């Protein structure tokens, strides 16, 4: 297994863990809750005017985001932050770019009540779902207290836990298949480590497990203040959750404000602004090849016979 390597010290052999670990094949979830959450995820009934669903900003057929710099909510309102992918969000240590939600369940309510996104309120959502015979029956079958804000969030979060993408070429490489990625991608991974990218982008989600300042070596001119909006601490200005790089080749545009359109430009930008290092065009190509090897298999966690 590639994520356990051998280090020779003084004639002895010591095992050390690889900085990136493969995604598991599946996670244990309640199938009934996940099925209900899947319905809610795709249903615009959650929005005030019935025009926007979770799927609107998180297209599962195209990287788990919407491919836009800023998403649009009810009445065509435009947001001010780039929608992150929902794939593998379960592995993030916090949710949202500013980390204001501690988990998927807490995150699920945010877009519903955000006036720019779904623009609704939970009493209205609960009333709508209770009046819908299918939803009322499903909630009553699963939850002893039926339709509640907590149960709505729980069902959506349970479904989102199934949205993992294991078996990327790089995962297969970590598991021992040396031919799963190209020599260029292998060189890209080496550079990814020696250049310092691995400091922030590590773990199972290749990121998503810490905060960092946006624009360390150069002022990135961010209009969003990041964590500062939550904590009001001066040290948290322009600090954001480090995004996962899983499926990054599918989730352009990049950064919290969607300012960068291509993966190649993103690599170059990060080397200058976050690492303060010069990087050659050849090195960028190699790192890009490595990043493309992180594209996994969507919906691999669904149960046998269940449609995507």
Catalytic residues, by residue number, are 117
Q: What's the sign of the alpha-carbon dihedral 199, 219, 214, 233?
A: positive
Q: Are 163 and 42 in contact (CB under 8 A)?
A: no
**Rg of the chain taking only CA atoms, in angstroms:** 21
Query: What does residue 211 show for φ and ψ, rounded to 5 degrees?
Result: -100, 155
SS3 258: coil
- 3 state DSSP class of 254: strand
Q: Is the dihedral of CA 260, 262, 265, 270 positive or negative?
A: positive
């Amino acid at each position: 297994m590639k994520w356990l390597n051998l280090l020779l010290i003084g004639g002895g052999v010591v095992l050390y863990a690889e900085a990136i670990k493969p995604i598991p094949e599946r996670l244990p979830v309640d199938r009934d809750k996940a099925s209900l959450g899947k319905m809610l995820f795709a249903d615009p009934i959650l929005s005030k005017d019935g025009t926007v669903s979770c799927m609107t900003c998180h297209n599962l057929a195209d990287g788990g985001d919407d491919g836009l710099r800023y998403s649009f909510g009810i009445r065509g309102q435009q947001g001010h932050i780039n929608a992150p992918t929902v794939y593998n969000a379960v592995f993030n240590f916090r949710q949202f770019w500013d980390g204001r939600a501690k988990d998927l369940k807490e995150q699920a309510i945010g877009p519903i009540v955000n006036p720019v996104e779904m623009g609704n309120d939970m009493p209205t959502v609960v009333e709508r779902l209770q009046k819908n015979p299918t939803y009322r029956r499903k909630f009553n079958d699963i939850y002893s207290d039926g339709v509640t804000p907590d149960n709505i969030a729980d069902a959506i979060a349970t479904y989102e836990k199934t949205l993992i993408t294991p078996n990327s070429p790089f995962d297969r490489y970590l598991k021992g298949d040396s031919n799963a990625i190209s020599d260029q991608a292998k060189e890209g991974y080496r550079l990814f480590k020696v250049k310092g990218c691995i400091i922030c982008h590590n773990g199972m989600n290749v990121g998503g497990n810490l905060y960092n300042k946006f624009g360390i070596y150069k002022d990135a001119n961010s209009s969003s203040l990041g964590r500062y909006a939550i904590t009001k601490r001066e040290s948290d200005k322009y600090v954001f959750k480090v995004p996962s790089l899983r499926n990054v080749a599918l989730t352009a545009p990049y950064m919290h404000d969607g300012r960068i359109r291509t993966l190649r430009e993103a690599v170059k930008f990060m080397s200058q602004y976050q690492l303060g290092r010069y990087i050659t065009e050849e090195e960028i190509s190699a790192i890009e090849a490595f990043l493309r090897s992180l594209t996994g298999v969507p919906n691999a966690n669904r149960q046998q016979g269940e449609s995507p």
